């Protein structure tokens, strides 16, 4: 890894907080309405995938056809449910160690940003009380292309004036790792090597992770 680290970009769902469980509940409820039982394994495949694309996948698995108009309505219903579920999010829901790690980075002059597919990013960060922690936030409202396209990460480095090769991305989804690699960034998977085989390096979480450990990664 290039040791000139200037920017760390964090994915949100699955890296900073576990919102996947709420996405699952909301998608499951929606799928039930058209008689389909969504499984946990299928939900894994929706990680990092945008709302509309997630819906299209679920409809495909269910073998159900819906018009574009109906799809917009279904995505709205799902999101209303999801937003209701995440109202209970609080600072204690932030994954252990992440905040300290970000403080460590900032103390050392490294910029930190968010690169998330979620259109609810700011609401979630506000609930977690960490909206002001980041130098820049890129969410699903600001991008044209979904991960694995690198746009969501490149936007941060462009705005902050930092070269992709001096940028590190933390991601829990395979599609997000692909996006970071496509952007020419160093990709750290958060999870396990089996699920994220193309990541440059994989960590199980941020407990015991620090800037000095980051600098040792190869
Ligand atoms: P929303 P990330 C992604 O967030 C989630 O992993 C994915 O499951 C979700 O469908 C997507 O955001 C869109 O979320 O419906 O809130 O716009 O992992 O990129 O932070
Ligand atoms: Mg994620």
CB neighbours of residue 190 within 10 Å? 25
Dist. CA 65–CA 46, nearest whole Å: 19
- For the cut 80, the answer to whether the pLDDT of residue 1 exceeds it is no
Q: What is the pLDDT of residue 46?
A: 93
Domain boundaries defined on the chain: 7-17+90-216, 20-88
Q: Whose CA is nearest to atom 13 of ligand 1?
A: 118
Q: What is the pLDDT of residue 218?
A: 64
For the CA of 78, the nearest atom of ligand 1: 15
Coil vs helix vs strand at 211 = helix
DSSP state of 166: G
Q: What is the pLDDT of residue 217?
A: 87
Question: pLDDT tens for residues 88-111?
Answer: 999 999 999 999 999 999 999 999
**C-alpha 96: how far from its chain's center?**
17
Active site residues: 11, 13
| Homologous superfamily of 7-17+90-216 | HAD superfamily/HAD-like (3.40.50.1000)
Q: What is the pLDDT of residue 2?
A: 74
Question: Is residue 50 in contact with ligand 1, taking CB distance under 6 Å?
Answer: yes
* Spatial strand order in the sheet of 186-190: 136-138, 111-115, 7-10, 167-171, 186-190, 201-203
Question: Is residue 15 in contact with ligand 1, taking CB distance under 6 Å?
Answer: no
- For the cut 90, the answer to whether the pLDDT of residue 60 exceeds it is yes
User: Is 20-88 in the same CATH topology as 7-17+90-216?
Assistant: no
Domain 20-88 belongs to what topology? DNA polymerase; domain 1 (1.10.150)
Question: pLDDT tens for residues 142-164?
Answer: 999 999 999 999 999 999 999 99
- In order of 51, 71, 82, 115, the CA distances from 9 in angstroms are 21, 31, 25, 6
Name the more confident of 11 and 34: 11
Mutate to test the pocket of ligand 1, among 19, 72, 118, 152 (most ligand atoms within 8 A of CB): 118
């Amino acid at each position: 890894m290039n040791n000139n680290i200037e920017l760390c970009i964090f994915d949100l769902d699955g890296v900073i907080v576990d919102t996947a469980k709420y996405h699952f509940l909301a998608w499951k409820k929606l799928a039930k309405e058209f008689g389909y039982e969504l499984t946990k394994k299928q939900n894994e495949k929706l990680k990092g995938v945008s709302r509309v694309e997630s819906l299209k996948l679920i409809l495909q698995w269910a073998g159900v056809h819906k018009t574009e108009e109906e799809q917009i309505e279904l995505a709205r219903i799902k999101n209303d449910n999801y937003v209701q579920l995440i109202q209970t999010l609080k600072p204690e829901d932030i994954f252990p160690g992440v905040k300290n790690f970000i403080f460590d980075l900032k103390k050392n002059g490294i910029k930190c940003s968010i690169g998330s597919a979620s259109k609810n990013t700011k609401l979630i960060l506000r609930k977690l009380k960490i909206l002001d922690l980041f130098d820049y936030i890129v969410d699903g409202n600001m991008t044209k292309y979904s991960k694995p396209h690198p746009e969501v990460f490149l936007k941060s480095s462009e705005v902050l004036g930092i070269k992709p090769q001096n940028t590190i991305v933390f991601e829990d989804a395979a599609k997000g790792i692909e996006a970071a690699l496509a952007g020419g960034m160093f990709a750290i998977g958060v999870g396990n090597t089996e699920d994220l085989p193309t990541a440059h390096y994989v960590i199980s979480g941020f407990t015991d992770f620090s800037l000095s450990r980051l600098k040792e990664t190869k």
